[in-house]
Amino acid sequence: MKISNETKVGILTIVALVILIVGFNFLKGKDVFSRSKKIYAVFKELGTLEKSNEVKINGLPIGNVYDKKERDKDVSAVVVTISLTRDINIPKNSVAYISSSLVGSSYIIIERGNSTEMMGDGDTLTTRMETGILGDVKAQMNPTMARIRDVLDSLKETLSGVNGMLNMENKAYLKETLHNLSQASNALNGLLDNKNGALAKTLNNAQAMTESLKNNSADISTTIGNAKKISEKLAALELQPTIDSLNTMISSLKATAAKLNSTDGTLGALMNDRALYDKLNDAILSAEILIDDLRTHPKRYVNLSIFGKKDKTGPLTSPATKDTAAAGN
């Protein structure tokens, strides 16, 4: 029997459609070739839960999300069909909830109950809402986000006030201030220049001084040692006798000064008694006049003339000058 080309094309088309349907359902997590037990769970919100997402008990995958659809036209809840790929017993008082990972994927977790009655095909699980890690983070972030919003509102009001204050005159002042700040920044950059700045030069000088001290450390140590030796020698000297002699000398000088200041001694009398000083001065002056008169008129005192000529000049009343004394001679 010869098969026509049209028949072959039709058979191939049907086989391709079957393979496509089976592959599509397989990729969606549906078990096409086996009859698996299906149970249901009703959630108010699914989040990122999608078809073919895993269903776990104690961390063990036991099935996947087969389907999800609204419970009513108001979408008050969503009915999730769970296809169990493992033949395990699930107590009827078990509780299911949706958990989310940090990467964003979701899956259903079933917490086993302690009932002796087990879930059958078509039974519905009890559910609860579980915030999970992302929900906890969100709950903790809500107060912080509220504070951030308050800060942003306050910042917005502040900026609005600043914009209101920045009239033309204030803008000119602000522009001048920014220009001055720019100049100060340039001056500071020049000061902090790594090569030519004043700070760099100061640091270089300090480094050179440090290196010089390091190179001359031996000489410095020798000088300090010599100073230490001199200090030790000075400490070893017996200076107390010298100090006692100086004290004795000072006491003697004080006694001598006291005698000079008193009128008991000759020098003290001369220095402190004005009348005695005047009399002594008059006596010295009289002696000087007498000596000058003797030198000027020697004939008055020694008369060697044969004729006995008498000197008729009167005696001196004041010391003679050099010319008068020469004339008398």
3-state secondary structure of 320: coil
Domain count, the chain: 4
Asked if the model's pLDDT at residue 118 lies above 70, the reply is yes
- Report residue 314's pLDDT band, with 50, 70 and 90 as the boundaries: low
Whether residue 178 contacts residue 172, with contact meaning beta carbons closer than 8 Å, is answered with: no
Percent of the chain surpassing pLDDT 90:
18
Q: In this structure, are 52 and 110 located in the same domain?
A: yes
Helical residues (DSSP H) of the chain, grouped into ranges: 5-27, 132-165, 168-191, 198-215, 217-236, 240-261, 266-272, 274-296, 298-301, 322-328
* Domain co-membership, 41 together with 119: yes
C-alpha–C-alpha distance, residues 24 and 28, integer Å: 6
Kindly state whether residue 299 falls inside one of the protein's structural domains. yes
Q: How confident is the model at residue 306 (pLDDT cuts 50, 70, 90)?
A: very low
Note the pLDDT of residue 287. 77
Residue 311 lies in a domain: yes
Residue 114: the pLDDT is 93
Q: What is the pLDDT of residue 227?
A: 84
Domain assignment present for residue 123? The answer is yes
What pLDDT is attached to residue 251? 83
Chain centroid to CA 101: how far?
Answer: 43
Q: What would the pLDDT profile of 168-198 be if each residue is shown by its tens digit? A: 666 677 778 888 888 887 777 766 665 666 6
Q: Is residue 266 part of a domain?
A: no
Residue 204: pLDDT band with limits 50, 70, 90: confident
My answer on whether 41 and 29 are in the same domain is: no
Residue in 42, 78, 82 with CA at minimum distance from that of residue 63 = 82
117, pLDDT greater than 60: yes
Q: Residue 197 domain-assigned?
A: no
Q: What is the rounded average pLDDT of the residues 299-328? A: 55
Do both 4 and 43 map to the same domain? no
pLDDT at position 7 is 78
pLDDT at residue number 307: 46
Please list, in sequence order, all residues whose beta carbon lies within 8 angstroms of the beta carbon of residue 299, skipping any fewer than 6 positions away.
305, 311
Tell whether 38 and 89 lie within a shared domain.
Answer: yes
DSSP 91: B
pLDDT of residue 96: 93
**Residue 165: per-residue pLDDT:** 63
| pLDDT level of residue 311 (50, 70, 90 thresholds) | low
More reliable by pLDDT, 172 or 85 = 85
Q: What residue type is 268 in one-letter code?
A: G
Q: Please compute the mean of the pLDDT values over residues 214-233 and round it to a whole number.
A: 82
Asked if residue 148 lies in contact with residue 140, where contact means CB atoms within 8 angstroms, the answer is: no
Closest CA to 127 of 105, 99, 94: 94
Q: Which residues pair with 80 in a beta bridge?
A: 41, 68
Answer yes or no: is 249 within a domain. no
Return the pLDDT at 322.
Answer: 52
Model pLDDT, residue 8 = 72
Does residue 85 contact residue 63 with C-beta atoms inside 8 Å?
Answer: yes
Task: Name the residue with higher pLDDT: 206 or 29.
Answer: 206
Tell me the pLDDT tens digit for each residue of 33-84: 556 789 999 999 888 889 889 999 998 999 999 999 998 988 899 999 999 9
Residue 46 lies in a domain: yes
pLDDT at 221 (0 to 100): 82
Residue tagged 């609204």 (tokens): 70
Judgement on whether residues 39 and 111 belong to the same structural domain of the protein: yes
| 10/93 same-domain check | no
What is the per-residue pLDDT across 139-158, written as a single tens digit (0 to 9) for each? 566 677 778 888 888 887 77
Supply the range of the domain harboring residue 294.
274-328
**C-alpha–C-alpha distance, residues 67 and 28, integer Å:** 9
On whether both 44 and 84 belong to a single domain, the answer is: yes
Same domain, 2 and 70: no
CA distance 85 to 64: 8
Most confident of 62-71, 129-138, 274-283: 62-71
Both 56 and 102 in one domain: the answer is: yes
